[in-house]
Chains A and B, each alone.
Chain A
Amino acid sequence: MDFQVVVLAGGSSKNLTPLVSKELPKPLLPVANRPVLSYVLHQLEQNNLKDLIVVVEGEDTALVVGAWISGTFIDRLHVEIAAVPEDIGTAGAIRAISHHLTAKDILVVSGDLVSDVPPGAVAATHRRHDAAVTAMLSSIPVSGPLDSGSSGGKDKAKKLGRYNIIGLDPGKQFLLHIATGAEIEKDARLPKHILRAVGQMEIRSDLMDAHMYAFKRSVLQEVLDLKDTFQSLKEDVLPYLVRSQLKSEALSNRTPQGEENGNEKVTSQNNQVFVSRILANSSTPSFHDHSSENPDGSAPTRKTHKCCAYIASSGSYCVRLNSIQAFMDINRDVTGEADHLLTGTSSDPNNNIGPSPKLGTKTTVGPHCMLGEGSEIGDKCQVKRSVIGRHCRIGSHVKVVNSVVMNHVTIGDGCIIQSSVVCSNVQLQERVVLKDCQVGAGFVVTAGSEYKAESLARKEK
């Protein structure tokens, strides 16, 4: 279909420390015992997109990720791994691999997206409108643990700054305004000329940018060339394109048509105009056409491009893994209500929900739990709404609620773990109480200690 897919897998992430590290880059962070990147790749594979470019930050990370991909998706996907320097942002990453891009349209997907929205839908919307860019918007997921106590307040404070203001046309097809994150303080500036052209704008703050974009390649490359200060697709490129859609400087979606057919020697220019007028008159006009028309109704002079939005239907699942809270949420949802993301996705056949591991007597494992292969749980334990990785050893009288325990974790007797993340190779000695904590890889929590809302990690040597 003349689409190229770029997966921005990223590398390290400040938001996710101490969960990610050099050994465990963000793309490989296990969500329900599968690396988060596998969700995206699997979904692309299901949609028959088998030629991918995966962009990873940092050479070392690229090696790790590449090894994993080639191990997991061997001869199922044709993946090119591109390593880009760190801290150049998403726009920088695209700029770095720009020479690889050849297709007419580019689909850019963030590697941390866990979603069941078909990428084809975005692509189809893009094609239908012949847009310069199409962004997928989804409703902001319900965040926070179901029975969250103190963490709620903290998250709310965080989320206030993460508002998205998105302006849509009445048909909900075009993006008229987008402002995300830090840009919004108290007041938002709306572009007047666009408002005038459209006449009506719907301002939504309940939508978020899911970071799945379809770009017209020519437009994307041109913008990246022109504006070499742009760092991020989401915060720079997309708002720029949306802002300039009625007075696009270099780009146009109108000329290609004329050029393509202009090559024909038989047809005179006159006929081309005629044909394009028939086509234009009978197609549903968008505000772009009106605004580009001269007052006397003659042919459009100003160039425009279209910025479309695809709004994921409310039933679909779409979350980005960009914070620890999101990580918890996704783990909860994937094992719970959105478990269709897991079914049939046996990239690693050992992942299964259910008590295949050894359980001690009187141990209960509640619903929506996942236990990895080879894990052992002692007597009289309780596991609720939690994911436990492979080869964990859990002692007796342990309570694990709303938590994620990764691989090779040893938990001593009498521990209570609530709403926490315990990374690989962590050792929890006896009677440790963790609440709302993140424990970095390889950390050893001494016996009897109690932590609340803390982030524990090994000191970097």
Chain B
Amino acid sequence: MDTRRVSSAVPRVRQVGFFTPNTPAHQPAPTRSQSGPPTSDSPPLSDSPASNSLSPVMIPPPRHLSDNLGGRAYALPVPGRGNAGEHATVGSYNPSESVLWLESPPRSRIGDEELSEGTESSLGWYRRSNSAKVASSLPSGGFDLSQVKQPESVAAVEAKNPLPEKSEAQKEQASNPKSLKAKTTKAERRALQESQRAAKAASKAEANKSNAPGGAASSKPMKQPPQKKDGPPVASSVAASERGVDRPVEKERKKDLPPPRMQFDDESRVDKAKRRSLLNQPEARNRVELFRHLPPHKNGSQLPYLESKFFELHEMHPSVYKVGLQYLTGDTSGGNARCIAMLQAFQEAIRDYSTPPEKTLNRDLTSKIGGFVSFLIECRPLSMSMGNAIRFLKSRIARLPLTLSESEAKAALCSDIDRFINEKIVLADKVILRHAATKIRDGDVLLTYGSSCVVEMILLYAHEIGKQFRVVVVDSRPMLEGQKQLRRLVAKGLSCTYTQLNAISYVMHEVTRVFLGASSIFSNGTVYSRVGTASVAMVAHAFHVPVLVCCEAYKFHERVQLDSICFNELGDPDAVSKVPGREDVNYLDNLTDKQKENLQLLNLKYDATPSDYISVIVTDYGMIPPTSVPVIVREYRKEYLLI
């Protein structure tokens, strides 16, 4: 999904960066002013000052920043703003590269497995997008110049860029830009992109199962020729000098990234995945158009199938299987609990593991874990926190010294897992309790939504240390998770009010603080949490009530997400139409098949709360504003992979 957005954004961005008179409002002024002294001899844009004297040295900092921030906005065409004519080519494709590089993690994931296809197709895509850019820069008049000066600029690019074919492609496209423009319509590019993405997803699924040793080998740079060609080098051509040091780390990070998710509206790919899949994918019934790309909910159809297969899944460790079943049936839910359950299952699997002959522990275990993970994904999509934990575990396995004996290695891994649970979850929660409790004053009315284990602990802790406050638990159908929490709170003697989400604006009057949990927090400060959280936060914002999001730092994710459409999870669609125990309101029960065709049920599980509505994020590193999330991700991620 991200890529899709990029593709549509890039052309627009380019127009903005250069010559188009109508600038979209979202242009980030600050970067621009950083990038170079404004001069006026190129496009007369009031807010996009172009720098004539663009020095190559000037370029890297904003780019680097942008990469780390993951802010797409900051990755806008910095260099292109130079002398419009002269640097047209550079500018015209660098921005795309930088954006692409942001997207490169998914691409690099396929690297090992789908070498030929991946490389080829992605190159093809580069070419096309480039050409599109060149073409679109044409009308504005700068092109002739660029053509004249091209040798220089290409040379300049080549000096930094290890990809000569790219510039060549550019040349030849530059020679007949018109026809190319006609060829590469937006729809066309998009179709191409779609197919690539699906290819990646499919190959990725494969990779997790069979070929994950690649992950183990990730510390060896020579293992990844496609990566070299594709993403990083292009980007690093710009900022190579600076990033040179932590390149390997980043590479690894990319390898461990959660895979690009399968797009479930692509029929051929779904078919393929189905054949490979351990579980049978249910047929997509009437699903809401906008959310067809999400994996369909599985509970009903999967369980009997999975049960009947119980004894046939040799390679699945029983504990992993059990955890998977619990995910599938919803017996275990909640980010922390799922993550802990998964890690403990892995721990048991590792304890029972023995390296088969003629294999090394590092590689074989990685592939085994990969198999477990893909099984769990099929039971229920992973949460971000689980993705981070898996990444951690895989990096630990990859880093095991080869000299360790098997038992030592297993013991080391088990204690690593324990440490992860203790430091990243248990201790983190305890720290969060302390921090958050300082924000609770006597006489407060605290509002919480749904059921978050951290928030519940905060409330209990604050109650224990003698704070006087009242709690409003807001809940929503169909999960009604709040009731479980409410039960425990009331049992501990807290004074509670329980209401449904639709009454939120009435109860918000008296509330003084809103405490929310989160499934994940993205680099741009977006909080990904149980569906409904966004509305609570929005109402709180409107009422000027501070919103505190409590979230352990291991749930932070470097991804940037602006909406809750591209990544989400679908729940059981029938759950929204049925009210258990209320026969009298089941109006949707006796629909005929024909009527059902016209009915599409949507049960989303998560939503994204924009950072504007969040006052503070309480995390184990302290209380931070949402804008500081990328800092935590950047500064602590390294250390956490290296623990």
Contact = CB atoms under 8 A, between A and B. Distances in A.
Contact of B322 (A47, A128, A313): A128
Contacts of B529: none
Contact of A120 (B310, B338, B426): B310
Contacts of A313: 304
B312 A266 contact: no
A171 to B, nearest CB: 11
Contacts of B415: 264, 266
7 closest Cβ pairs, A-B complex: A120-B310, A297-B491, A282-B334, A282-B337, A118-B308, A121-B307, A124-B307
A127 interface: yes
B309 interface: yes
B309 A120 contact: yes
B426 A274 contact: yes
Nearest to A50: B311
Contacts of B348: 260
B274 interface: no
26 contacts: A1-B313, A1-B318, A2-B318, A3-B311, A49-B311, A123-B310, A127-B310, A127-B318, A127-B321, A128-B322, A128-B326, A264-B418, A266-B419, A266-B422, A271-B426, A274-B426, A275-B421, A278-B334, A279-B341, A281-B453, A281-B484, A281-B485, A282-B453, A283-B333, A296-B491, A297-B491
A1 B311 contact: yes
Interface of B: 304, 306-314, 318, 321-322, 325-326, 329-334, 336-338, 340-341, 344, 348, 414-415, 418-419, 421-422, 425-426, 429-430, 451, 453, 456, 484-485, 488, 491-492
Given A1-B321, A297-B492, A278 B307 contact: no
B487 to A, nearest CB: 8
A92 interface: no
A284 B329 CA distance: 10
Given A124-B325, A266-B415, A297-B492, A281 B456 contact: yes
Interface in A274-318: 274-275, 278-279, 281-285, 296-297, 313
Contacts of B426: 271, 274-275
Contacts of B326: 128, 283
A128 B325 contact: yes
Contacts of A282: 332-334, 336-338, 451, 453
A275 B321 CA distance: 20
Nearest to B485: A281
Most buried by A among B310, B453, B484: B310
A284 B337 contact: no
A125 interface: yes
A48 interface: yes
Contacts of B425: 275, 278
Contact of B308 (A121, A271, A281, A297): A121
Given A261-B344, A264-B414, A271-B426, 10 more contacts: A1-B313, A1-B318, A120-B307, A121-B304, A128-B329, A264-B418, A266-B418, A266-B419, A275-B425, A278-B425
Contact of A125 (B307, B313, B333, B414): B307
A119 interface: yes
B453 A278 contact: yes
Nearest to B338: A282
Nearest to B328: A128
Contacts of B418: 264, 266-267
Given A264-B414, A279-B340, A284 B331 contact: yes
Contacts of A279: 332, 337, 340-341
A42 to B, nearest CB: 14
A279 B330 CA distance: 13
Contact of A127 (B314, B322, B341, B485): B322
Nearest to B351: A260
A128 B329 CA distance: 9
B414 A120 contact: no
A432 B136 CA distance: 99
Specify which of A49, A260, A278 lies most central, judged by the most chain B CB atoms within 10 Å of its CB: A278
A3 B321 CA distance: 13
Given A127-B322, A264-B414, A283-B332, A278 B337 contact: yes
Nearest to B422: A271
Given A128-B325, A279-B340, A282-B453, A120 B308 contact: yes
A279 to B, nearest CB: 5
A216 B567 CA distance: 41
B153 to A, nearest CB: 57
B560 to A, nearest CB: 28
Contacts of A118: 307-308, 310
A284 B327 CA distance: 11
B412 to A, nearest CB: 11
A124 B310 contact: yes
B173 to A, nearest CB: 55
A372 to B, nearest CB: 32
Nearest to B310: A120
Nearest to B309: A120
A296 B492 CA distance: 7
A279 B345 CA distance: 13
A339 to B, nearest CB: 20
Contacts of A2: 318
Nearest to B490: A297
A123 B336 CA distance: 27
Interface in A110-135: 118-121, 123-125, 127-128, 130
B310 A1 contact: yes
B306 A124 contact: yes
Interface in A310-331: 313
Contacts of B419: 266
A27 to B, nearest CB: 22
Contact of B311 (A47, A261, A278): A47
A284 B337 CA distance: 12
Contacts of A285: 484
B470 to A, nearest CB: 19
Interface in A230-279: 260-261, 264, 266-267, 271, 274-275, 278-279
A119 B318 contact: no
A271 B426 CA distance: 7
Nearest to B348: A260
Contacts of B331: 128, 283-284
B551 to A, nearest CB: 14
Contacts of B310: 1, 47, 118-121, 123-124, 127
A264 B344 CA distance: 12
Contacts of B329: 128
A104 B418 CA distance: 24
Contacts of A278: 334, 336-337, 340, 425, 429, 453
A118 to B, nearest CB: 4
Contacts of A260: 348
Contacts of A264: 414-415, 418
A48 B311 contact: yes
B311 A123 contact: yes
A267 B304 contact: no
B337 A283 contact: yes
A275 B423 CA distance: 12
Contact of A281 (B311, B313, B488): B488
B334 to A, nearest CB: 3
Contacts of A267: 418, 422
A47 B309 CA distance: 7
A267 B417 CA distance: 11
Of A2, A47, A118, A130, most buried by chain B (CB within 10 Å of CB) is A118
Contacts of A266: 415, 418-419, 422
Contacts of A296: 491
Contacts of B341: 279
Nearest to B491: A297
A279 B421 CA distance: 12
Contacts of B456: 281
